[in-house]
Structure 1
Amino acid sequence: MDDFYYESTILRVGDEAADLINGGILILFGEPLPRDLESLSVVHKPADNPALEIRAGDELWLGGARLTLTAVGERAQENLTTLGHMVVYVNPDPAAGLLPGAVHAEGPLGVPEPGCELRLVRA
């Protein structure tokens, strides 16, 4: 059994989100979200609030992709809990700083399909 502590279903992918994802930036937002951010976001419907605190070493599963979290900003937990919002920078430049609401991750990332599951898994 997988030890996931957050589960959500992808509802839709904004018009500009695929370009961002292909560039290594995944913007997740739960509903409702600001209209001006919808085209940039992957919109999802959480099953519940995270049961645990997000931490480096955990995994983000998005459809068939498995990413390992390498750094977690100090506001990432609050943003995910209150807004379903998380910005994931995939394979970032090592010199790039960590923004307070951001998460850094390593691994392959593709554009998710509506209906696929998103999970945060304690490693």
Structure 2
Amino acid sequence: MTVIYQTTITRIGQSAPDALCDQMLITFREGAPADIEEFCFIHCHGELNGELLPGSQLTLGETRYPVTAVGSVAEQNLRELGHITLRFDGQTEAEYPGTVHVAGPVPQALATGCVLKFVA
């Protein structure tokens, strides 16, 4: 398996864990505007080394999730802003252009230092 993207969560916005209750996890690179940072898991931005496609895998800490759908601008947002919205619902068509859907259980909690990785 080839690592497409890897980063580490460095800060967690005050309202970011609330999105997990809605089966979502929102990321943004360090330096996000303050009003956005509050809702995001902030990370040290990695380099995107390949295409983000259905069939890839997301690894979040020790848990692996198959990627089931990728929105039309999700890859660009990840590359340029470190921004991605993950939905833990297994949908096979992206609900929004910036969304990546994965199949599997919603993380109960994430801590700083957690590694987020996409592999193909």
TM-score (norm 2): 0.90
C-alpha spacing 1:90/1:35, structure 2 compared with 1 (3 Å): same
User: Which residue is 1:99 aligned to?
Assistant: 96
**Cross-structure match for 1:21:** 20
Q: Which moved more, 1:106-115 or 1:78-87?
A: 106-115
Q: Which residue of 2 aligns with 1:65?
A: 63
Count of aligned positions: 119
Deviation at 1:22? Answer: 2.7
Superposed structure 1 runs of 4+ greater than 4 Å apart: 94-97
Measured in 2, the distance between the counterparts of 1:96 and 1:60 equals 17
Structure 2: distance between partners of 1:10 and 1:23: 20
What letter matches 1:100 in structure 2? P
Q: Is 2:112 the partner of 1:114?
A: yes
Do the aligned partners of 1:9 and 1:44 also contact (CA within 8 Å) in 2? Answer: yes
The Cα RMSD (Å) is 1.8
Unpaired runs of at least 5, structure 2: none
Number of the residue aligned with 2:10: 11
Determine whether 1:33 maps to 2:32.
Answer: yes
Map 1:39-78; keep pairs closer than 5 Å: 39-46=38-45, 48-78=46-76
Give the TM-score, by structure 1 length.
0.88
In the TM superposition, residue 58 of structure 1 has moved relative to its aligned partner by 0.8
- Cα separation, 1, equivalents of 2:92 and 2:44: 33
